Structure 1
Amino acid sequence: MAPRSGRLDRSGKDKEEDSEKSAPAPVYLETYARGELDAKIEQLEAILEECTLCPRECGVNRNKGERGYCNSDRQLKVSSVQPHFGEEAVLVGTKGSGTIFLTNCNLGCVYCQNYDISHLGYGRVMSEAELADCMLSLQNRGCHNINLVTPTHFTPQIVKALKIAIEKGLHIPLVYNCGGYESKHTIELLDGIVDIYMPDIKYGEEANAERYSNAGDYFERCKEAVKEMHAQVGDLKLDDRGLAWRGLLIRHLVLPNGLAGSEAVMKFIATEISKDSYVNIMAQYRPMYKACEYKYKELSRWITMAEYREAISIARRYGLHRGFHII
């Protein structure tokens, strides 16, 4: 699937002083310059009146304090803001990825490794202006990008904060680091705003998505969203320093006992997205949160090297070749 025409040939210079060679300017600067950002903010904020930001389509009025599945009202809530050196090398570079961890989540993963943030609601309320200042602080510390972790349920507030940050000099790529359970319509509204989409594709089958994340339609909705992401930004592109500046980066966490459905996931990526997709096949699963309960005993162990190698083998068999290491 080729990216939409007219989106990749942008001019402009990266203002970061230590850049060796500049990548094109972030796409959101173009959108702002054309005066289109306000309309997108207005459309996104209107969704909060009867929230359908994600596939759950709870329909609650978050502007009046109502909360749906994600347990979030109108108020933005952030867990942490920091340069992160544990992300993919193409995001981390030498000075880190500027991660902003949003509180709460639209998924219910029983093995969540950040359950204190996503399920227990750890974090503090923050205004859009404060979030904009956080973005600028990360840029000033030398971070190569702004990495928004679990942004789905706060998308309107994030885009509003982005406008404030742009007007104060933000100029590094924006990363949308999500769980993959996204509404295609919401992703469409982010066209011209997000530089790098980084979705998980957690499952390749309905039953496990329902059992472990309370989202039986996960794979179908994820596929719709990822296709739209790729249509906007194309395959992942790197600058002369090996840093990502535009494109799609997919994550797939290998689960024990083949529960992630890696075969269906890799087939989808290779046949419906691109064989040149950058796919991080992750081996760091460990039983956390409810995964150690007897009810989920099939999740109660780390994965084996054989299980990880099998996922790599599947990816290679479908012609995928970027983002993972052959071991």
Structure 2
Amino acid sequence: MKISEKLYRACELCPRRCKADRLSGQRGFCGETGQLYVARAALHFWEEPPLSGTKGSGAIFFSGCPLRCVFCQNDNISHGNLGHPITVRRLAKIMLELKDQGALNINLVTPFHFAPQVHEALMLAKEAGLKLPIVANTSGYELPELVDAMAPDIDIWLTDFKYASPELAQKLSGARNYPAVALEALKHMYAATEAKGVRKLEDSGRMLRGIIVRHLVLPTHIDDSMRVLDTVFQVCGNKVDYSIMNQYTPNERCRKRGGALSHALGSEEYEKVLDHADDLGIDRMWWQQGGTVSESFIPAFDATGVDGPELKIK
């Protein structure tokens, strides 16, 4: 796959393959046209320690998303089209501004439905002196061929693996094929990282290259969480980092609907999943301790850091 804006003409940048003519202003399944939209660009301190450290990760939150997760914490940008239109040169300049603020990396949050502009902006920023690790912060619902095409740009894959069950994936994210797609995408992320030399950290603990597989444990669905860990460990073993999260926070939609997703995860449920990870032999795992269930962990999507000058091309 060659990354260019021509891909927007009949868009197949995500597994939905909706074929929307985004160049002509038609919105794809992701909710976006060919116009680049960003909702926030700022230092972010709530990623895993190798990414955030004490200085923060340079997070750029893109608008739109190919999934339809009923429990989404970023609903107003993933489904609500909140964000500001910017140019490729402005995106490149944002990356350099985050570098100047002391960011440990450039953290692209749900970026690949804008792959053509993201790719171009990264090339421009690197030509202008950007040398920070580039993080692809993704839902895991990615086409393998797009993973391969973007792999030269990416140093760290921060990828979700949400479900093992197609039925649960359909019910909660409207994507029955999520487990199969996420597994194939992970295999390609793993192969691309292996080709570059596998995991690499500085003495300070900052990650320079590698894969972190995230899984959010959902109330009453711990059996599926265990199957997710089984699946990932079978493919990657201990050559990746695992991040098992307990921070599920019911959004307004889930609170109104009631049922299992209207309340937070129980501590006993979470401990069972962590115990299963230990039983598998996972030796590099991030987990969370109390106090993570809070909307205060959701950043304000108020266009912080979005507007400003473009990168000047010499």
Category of TM-score, reference length = shorter chain: 0.7 to 0.9
CA-CA distance at 1:117 after TM superposition:
1.1
2:306 matched residue in structure 1: none
CA-CA distance at 1:84 after TM superposition:
0.6
Question: Given the alignment, which residue of 145, 166, 176 partners 2:126?
Answer: 166
CA-CA distance at 1:68 after TM superposition:
1.6
Distance 1:315 1:269 in 2: 11
CA-CA distance at 1:236 after TM superposition:
3.6
Task: Say if 1:326 and 1:148 are closer, same or farther in 2 by CA, change over 3 A.
Answer: closer
1:35 matched residue in structure 2: none
2:296 matched residue in structure 1: none
- Give the 4+ runs in structure 1 shifted more than 3 A: none
Secondary structure in structure 2 of the residue aligned to 1:66: coil
Contact 2:63–2:82 (Cα < 8 Å) also in 1: yes
Contact 1:312–1:326 (Cα < 8 Å) also in 2: no
Q: Output the amino acid matched with 1:267.
A: D
2:95 matched residue in structure 1: 135
Q: Output the amino acid matched with 2:241.
A: Y
- Per-residue deviation, residues 57-114 of structure 1 (Å, max 9, x unmatched): 0011111111121111110000000001111110112211000000111110111111
1:67 matched residue in structure 2: 27
1:280 matched residue in structure 2: 243
Task: Say if 1:326 and 1:80 are closer, same or farther in 2 by CA, change over 3 A.
Answer: closer
Secondary structure in structure 1 of the residue aligned to 2:60: strand
CA-CA distance at 1:315 after TM superposition:
1.4
Question: Given the alignment, which residue of 255, 273, 289 partners 1:292?
Answer: 255
CA-CA distance at 1:142 after TM superposition:
0.9
Secondary structure in structure 1 of the residue aligned to 2:7: helix
Secondary structure in structure 2 of the residue aligned to 1:290: helix
The residue correspondences of 1:225-236 to structure 2 (distance < 5 A) are: 225-234=185-194, 235-236=198-199
Contact 2:63–2:77 (Cα < 8 Å) also in 1: yes
Which shifted more, 271-280 or 102-111?
271-280
1:270 matched residue in structure 2: 233
Q: Output the amino acid matched with 1:120.
A: G
Question: Given the alignment, which residue of 124, 139, 156 partners 1:179?
Answer: 139
Contact 2:245–2:287 (Cα < 8 Å) also in 1: no
Contact 1:78–1:124 (Cα < 8 Å) also in 2: yes
1:306 matched residue in structure 2: 268
Task: Say if 1:145 and 1:326 are closer, same or farther in 2 by CA, change over 3 A.
Answer: closer
1:13 matched residue in structure 2: none
Distance 2:97 2:288 in 1: 37
Q: Output the amino acid matched with 1:281.
A: I
- Per-residue deviation, residues 119-153 of structure 1 (Å, max 9, x unmatched): 11111001000000000000011101000011121
Report the TM-score, using the length of structure 1 for normalisation: 0.84
Contact 1:276–1:321 (Cα < 8 Å) also in 2: no
In structure 2, the gaps of 5 or more residues are 290-314
Question: Given the alignment, which residue of 194, 197, 217 partners 2:154?
Answer: 194
Distance 2:261 2:287 in 1: 24
Distance 2:287 2:281 in 1: 14
CA-CA distance at 1:45 after TM superposition:
2.6
1:321 matched residue in structure 2: 283
Seq. identity, %? 38
Q: Output the amino acid matched with 1:200.
A: D
CA-CA distance at 1:324 after TM superposition:
2.3
1:33 matched residue in structure 2: none
Count how many residue pairs are aligned between Structure 1 and Structure 2: 286
Contact 1:269–1:277 (Cα < 8 Å) also in 2: no
In structure 1, the gaps of 5 or more residues are 1-39
Secondary structure in structure 1 of the residue aligned to 2:152: coil
Distance 1:259 1:58 in 2: 32
The residue correspondences of 1:96-135 to structure 2 (distance < 5 A) are: 96-135=56-95
Distance 1:163 1:282 in 2: 33
Contact 2:245–2:288 (Cα < 8 Å) also in 1: no
Question: Given the alignment, which residue of 171, 191, 205 partners 1:211?
Answer: 171
Secondary structure in structure 1 of the residue aligned to 2:137: strand
Contact 2:249–2:263 (Cα < 8 Å) also in 1: yes
- Per-residue deviation, residues 22-58 of structure 1 (Å, max 9, x unmatched): xxxxxxxxxxxxxxxxxx7x53433212111110000
Question: Given the alignment, which residue of 108, 120, 128 partners 1:148?
Answer: 108
Distance 1:299 1:326 in 2: 19
CA-CA distance at 1:259 after TM superposition:
5.9
